[in-house]
């Protein structure tokens, strides 16, 4: 069921650097603030809990001892799903009757695992966890911290604010991954990013973009997604304030920054949050270099108008020419036992097949007996063939 209109909020804020408890406190305050303004969907940036770990440069010349300590710090400030920490976020969402999509460093809850994932957590307006999405391919230096998602969580959720899905950062440059969500009929798409940056050209810095929207690939990606899917896109971008980073953090010296608005922000994380209509027009933003909440009213009649021209799930699709195959809908499990090789349904099927064969033999015997043949009249070879 398509709603008439939904107010959405893209939170552009700085986490309390590498502090899970304090960042969740801040997130709950921001959820309540956006909820009081009438937002039914509240979106947070990539790795809001508790900081984007690829914001500092790490290469082969890194200080290995410092890197090890930093990695443990990221683990300790990451979110496990589900957990008591999640319960706090769920409680805030329930309190304001709003859906929340939270970007986080997720610590795997599989026993014995300490792998981190770049994750979106989806919470419904009743405070229940709808699901999560792990970024399928960490980008560039993110691979030093984040594991690979398996794609089993590429889902669109049917909610009372529309069909809701989301991707993280450079997943918006993966055509087949985007198509998996589009083919599920998204109406509101969440695009989570670490912040605005300059793509860079040969021989120049690839970080500082400031307010030049033509220097970064974020806004072209979100606007094109809106047109391709005929949906609204809510893009939440991180700002990371330099003053939030302790002076004794070993990699602070590598973090370029830009002075914008009210303070100095890490150059990879200087905002740019916005909301895009299905026509690719900006409904709000982009906003740079300031902590704020970007609001927009999404009028779903705009989806109907877009579908007149391009309907990716209807007349503007050629499934007879090309179709998309999702390789696996279930998550991978590293542990299996031999008993798993023959599930109950397979054993039952084998027994049913044997029963059918026995029934066929009995019918043949009965038929032969009618014409004066007996069981002894059926040759040994004939019985073998029957079985």
Task: Report the DSSP beta bridge partners of residue 276.
Answer: 233, 282
* Residue 169 is among the residues annotated as catalytic for this protein: yes
* Residue 135 is among the residues annotated as catalytic for this protein: yes
Active-site position among 20, 26, 132, 135: 135
Active-site position among 90, 104, 169, 270: 169
Task: Report the DSSP beta bridge partners of residue 235.
Answer: 191, 274
* Residue 33 is among the residues annotated as catalytic for this protein: no
Active-site position among 20, 26, 46, 298: 46
Q: How far apart are CA 236 and CA 12, in angstroms?
A: 6
Q: How far apart are CA 292 and CA 289, in angstroms?
A: 9
Active-site residue numbers? 46, 135, 169
């Amino acid at each position: 069921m398509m709603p008439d209109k939904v107010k959405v909020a893209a939170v552009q804020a700085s986490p309390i650097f590498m502090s899970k408890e304090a960042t969740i406190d801040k997130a709950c305050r921001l959820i309540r603030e956006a909820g009081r303004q009438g937002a039914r969907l509240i979106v947070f940036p990539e790795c809001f809990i508790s900081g984007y770990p690829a914001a500092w440069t790490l290469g082969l010349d890194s200080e290995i001892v410092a890197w090890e300590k930093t990695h443990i710090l990221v683990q300790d400030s990451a979110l496990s799903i589900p957990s008591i920490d999640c319960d706090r976020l769920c409680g805030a969402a329930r309190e304001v009757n709003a859906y929340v999509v939270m970007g986080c460093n997720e610590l795997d809850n599989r026993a014995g695992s300490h792998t981190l994932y770049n994750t979106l957590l989806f919470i419904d307006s009743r405070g229940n966890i709808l699901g999560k999405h792990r970024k399928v391919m960490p980008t560039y230096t993110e691979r030093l911290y984040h594991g690979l998602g398996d794609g089993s969580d590429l889902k669109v959720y049917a909610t009372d604010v529309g069909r809701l899905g989301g991707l993280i950062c450079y997943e918006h440059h993966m055509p087949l991954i985007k198509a998996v969500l589009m083919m599920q009929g998204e109406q509101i798409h969440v695009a989570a990013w670490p912040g605005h940056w300059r793509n860079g050209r040969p021989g120049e810095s690839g970080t500082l973009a400031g307010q030049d929207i033509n220097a970064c690939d974020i806004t072209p990606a979100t606007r094109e997604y809106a047109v391709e899917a005929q949906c609204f896109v809510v893009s939440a971008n991180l700002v990371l304030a330099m003053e939030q980073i302790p002076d004794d953090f070993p990699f602070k010296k590598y973090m370029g920054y830009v002075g914008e608005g009210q303070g100095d922000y890490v150059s990879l994380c200087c905002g740019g949050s916005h909301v895009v209509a299905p026509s690719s027009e900006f409904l709000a933003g982009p906003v740079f270099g300031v902590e704020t909440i970007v609001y927009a009213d999404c009028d779903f009649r705009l989806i109907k108008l877009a579908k007149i021209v391009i309907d990716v799930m209807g007349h503007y699709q050629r499934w007879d020419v090309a179709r998309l195959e999702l390789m696996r809908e279930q998550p991978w499990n590293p542990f299996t036992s031999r008993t798993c090789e023959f599930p109950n349904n397979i054993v039952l099927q084998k027994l049913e097949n044997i029963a059918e064969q026995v029934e066929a033999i009995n019918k043949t015997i009965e038929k032969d007996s009618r014409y004066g043949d007996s069981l002894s009249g059926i040759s040994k070879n004939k019985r073998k063939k029957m079985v």
